[in-house]
Amino acid sequence: MGVIKGNESPITVEDISEEETAMREARGMRRYNLKVVRINPGNYLMPSLYRQLKDIYYNFEYRSDDIVFVTFPKSGTVWTREILRTMIDTNDTPDPTKINNWGGSFMLHKELRQNLYPGHPDVEMLNKVCPGARVEDGVQVQLAAAFKGRRILGWHLALDLLGPHLLNTCKVVYVARNPKDVCVSIYHFFTNKKSYEGNLEDCARFLLEDGGYWEHISQAWRLKDHHNLHFMFYEDMKDDLLGQLRKLNDFLKLDLSEQKLKTVMERTSFDNMKATNNLELAKANKGPGSHFRRGVAGDWKNAFTSDQNKRMDAWIKEKSQGMDIKFKYE
């Protein structure tokens, strides 16, 4: 594939070589972690289905009242989504057994790691909401396009894959998490899902670095002063969620009361989210790939030996050179 022109995204997508696939397999990659393509600029790996969807994702039409949030996987995506949904939710007396049933939120890249067989609930939903729509044209993007109300749109893709109009059109919240905890969280996630059988330390290289962690975070960090981008750290949210919610409230110009922010804080605590009966969150908590594991900052201390930690520090120093970012590690 060469550089693409016109309305197509300027991203190039290449297959990886058989040798690289064999090397990744030898390093413990399994299932969809082996079905990847290399993209540029950035030189990192993405699920291979991205090739077919990249221009659709790039050309997605945002609306001025959209709230978009962007995270690298395992950085608090489900938490951020629930915070935003609960902030937007005007129902002040919801069913106490449920956190939020508000339907205007979409994880737009969701299908990249899904097996969307005919009859899959998301395919059924697409058929119902958008009769005649094709799965190949993106499931969540079409569902989101058909949604009439205010939308909360989540992406794991780096900002440069989201088209040139995003930041000129709507508000974007970026949540970053320190690379040591992302490493531990991703290790458990993929190990539990049997998509990774390697060791913890190799995750840094093979799941973070090859997955574009540094590219993802550095792009957002460079834009942190843009008036439509709000950069947050998972560790700050753990440390003082109410303080972070106040900042988010100002950024999003929601004008929520202190009482409402306290409600958001309570409803989105780790324990409440894990325990809720809400269908979508219960799904996120199901089975070996649960999105609610420990939910703390600094869990890496229970995982890395002191030698491993030294090597992680050296790796982080090398990779974050020139970025001027200070991660918090607890």
Output 9 or 300, the one with its CB closest to ligand A3P: 300
Cβ–Cβ < 8 Å for 194, 24:
no
In the list 221, 231, 251, 270, the residue contacting ligand A3P (rule: CB under 6 A) is 270
In the list 28, 42, 47, 73, the residue contacting ligand A3P (rule: CB under 6 A) is 73
The span of 68-76, 221-229, 242-250, 313-321 binding ligand A3P (CB under 6 A) equals 68-76
Pairing of strands 171-176, 105-107: unpaired
Output 114 or 127, the one with its CB closest to ligand A3P: 114
221 binds ligand A3P (CB under 6 A): no
Site string for ligand A3P, 177-216 (x = CB under 6 A): ----x---x--x----------------------------
SS (H, E, C) 134-154: CHHHCHHHHHHHHCCCCCEEE
The span of 16-24, 54-62, 71-79, 258-266 binding ligand A3P (CB under 6 A) equals 71-79
Q: Is the peptide bond before 94 cis (omega within 30 degrees of 0)?
A: no
How far is it, in rounded angstroms, from Cα 204 to Cα 259?
41
Q: Rounded to the nearest whole angstrom, what is the least distance from the CB of residue 186 to ligand A3P in the complex?
A: 8
In the list 54, 151, 171, 291, the residue contacting ligand A3P (rule: CB under 6 A) is 291
How far is it, in rounded angstroms, from Cα 117 to Cα 122?
9
Q: Rounded to the nearest whole angstrom, what is the least distance from the CB of residue 137 to ligand A3P in the complex?
A: 26
Output 77 or 191, the one with its CB closest to ligand A3P: 77
How far is it, in rounded angstroms, from Cα 220 to Cα 47?
21
Output 79 or 102, the one with its CB closest to ligand A3P: 79
What is the DSSP secondary-structure string of 166-222?
Answer: HHHHSEEEEEE--HHHHHHHHHHHHHHTTSB-S-HHHHIIIIIITTTHHHHHHHHHH
In the list 140, 178, 268, 278, the residue contacting ligand A3P (rule: CB under 6 A) is 268
Q: Pull the structure tokens for residue 313.
A: 């520090």
Output 35 or 293, the one with its CB closest to ligand A3P: 293
How far is it, in rounded angstroms, from Cα 288 to Cα 286?
7
* Inter-helix orientation angle 241-252/258-267, to 10°: 120
With CB under 6 A as the rule, give the number of residues binding ligand A3P. 21
Output 136 or 271, the one with its CB closest to ligand A3P: 271
Please give the residue ranges that form the binding site for ligand A3P (CB under 6 A). 71, 73-79, 181, 185, 188, 268-270, 273, 291-295, 299
